[in-house]
Structure 1
C-alpha cells in the first residue's frame, strides 16, 4: 500500500548510480527495540555514552536478494575507518547504539555493520553515506510515534501483532516484517522491525521477501 506518507531519502543519495555488477536486489532496514534486547536471559549493557533513549535504534541496513540470500563481507580492502564518520558520531551514539556486553562506545558494532553489510553496497554508498542514509531513514520513519498514536505503548502490555503491523503500514505506506524474541519467561515480544529499501538506497519499497520466523498473535511491548 502506498500513501502520502511514503518516504524518500534526500536527493543527495539519488546521485549514486547502481553498478552493473551489483550483487543484491534491495536492502532490509532493521530497527530494534532496546527494551526487548535487554529483557532476555542474556540481558544487555548500556553503551559507555549512557543509557539510550526509549526509542527504536538502528540495527543495520542490509543488502539482500529476492531469493532470501544475501552478500556479506564483500571488500576486506575497505575496513571501517572512524575518521570518515566523525561528524556522525553523536547521531550514531543516540540512534545506532550498542547494547552488547561488556559496555563499549559502539565502534565495534558500527565496524561490523560496515564491513559485513556496507562493503557489499559500495556501488551506492561510501562509508559516510552508508551510515548517513540509515540515520536519515530512522529519523524520517520515527516508528515509535505511529505505534503510540495507535495506543500501542512500550509499557509491558500485550498487543495484537496485526495491530502493530497495521499502525506501521498506515504510517510509512509499506508492510513491515516484525521479528520477535522471548523475555526471561519465554513470552513473545516485539524485537525488530524490518522495512525494505530499493537497490539504489533511495526509497522504501514493498519487501520482495520477508525473513523466516513468526511471532505469536499477541506480543509484549516491554518498557525500557
Structure 2
C-alpha cells in the first residue's frame, strides 16, 4: 500500500515538474528591438500618437523577445500570468517615454505592453517576472543610444538616403555588436530604416553577438525619415 502511495506521489511530482518546464520555456537569447517612429508613421497605414502626446523624436522600444539559436521562438507561454499594470506602476512614466504605442486608435500604451508581456515576456519567466521584464528593456535602451550613435556617424533623420552598410557599421561601432536592420516601405514605395535588432543574453542584462538573424533584408540604400 505504501509503495503504491509513493508511486502516485512520484507521478504527481513529475507532472508538476513538467508543467513548470512547459511554462518557463527554454530559450537561447533575446532580440532587443527598437523602432524609428518616423518610419512607423510614414506608411500607407499611418499612425496615431499616444494619449500622452507626440513621442520624442527618438528610437523607441518595440520589444524584448526570447529566441532560439535555430531561429525559432517560444510565444504565449503562460496564460496563468496575464499582464497586470499594477506590477509596473512605478515604470509607467518611463515606459510612456521609451515604449510608446503608435498604433491606432490613440492609447495609453497598456494594450501594447500587455501584448508584449503575454506573447513574449511570459516566455522569459524563468529569469524575469513582469516588473523585471519591463525594467530590463528600459535598462537596455539606456545602454545604447541608437539615435546619437547614428548622428555621430553623420546619419541624420532628415529624409536622406544612406547605405545600409554605413548604418550597420555605425551601430556596431557604437554598441560593440552587430545589429540586424529591418526596413519597411514609405508611402512613395521607398525602403526606409524601420527597426534595429540587437541581441541580449538570457539574463537580459548584457548585449551579445546574434547567433542568428531574422529573415528578410533591406535595399542597399535606405531612407531615414524625420519625425
The TM-score with structure 2 as length reference comes to 0.89
Matched, 1:113 2:92: no
1:97-108 aligned within 5 A = 97-108=100-111
Q: Report what 1:165 is aligned to.
A: 168
- Secondary structure of 1:190's match? strand
Divergent runs of 4+, >4 A: 19-22
In the other structure, the counterpart of 2:75 is 72
Partner of residue 5, structure 1: none
* Residue number among 17, 41, 45 corresponding to 1:42 in the alignment: 45
TM-score normalized by structure 1? 0.90
Question: Are 1:153 and 2:156 matched, yes or no?
Answer: yes
2:226 alignment partner in structure 1: 223
CA displacement 1:71-121 (0-9 Å, x = unmatched) = 000000000000000000000000000000000100000000000000000
C-alpha RMSD of matched pairs (Å): 1.2
Give the superposition deviation at 1:202. Answer: 2.4
Q: CA, structure 1 residues 95+113, in 2 after alignment: closer, same or farther (shift >3 Å)? A: same
Instruction: Report the alpha carbon displacement of residue 22 of structure 1 after superposing the two structures with TM.
Output: 4.3
Computing the radius of gyration from Cα coordinates, the structure with the larger value is 2
Deviation at 1:140, TM superposition (A): 1.4
Unaligned runs of 5+ in 2: 1-20
Distance (Å, rounded) in 1 between the aligned partners of 2:162 and 2:204:
32
1:77-96 superposed matches below 5 A: 77-96=80-99
Q: Which has the higher contact order (CA 8 A, sep 6+)?
A: 1
Give the Å deviation of 1:23: 1.6
Matched with 2:129 is: 126
Distance 1:97 1:125 in 2: 21
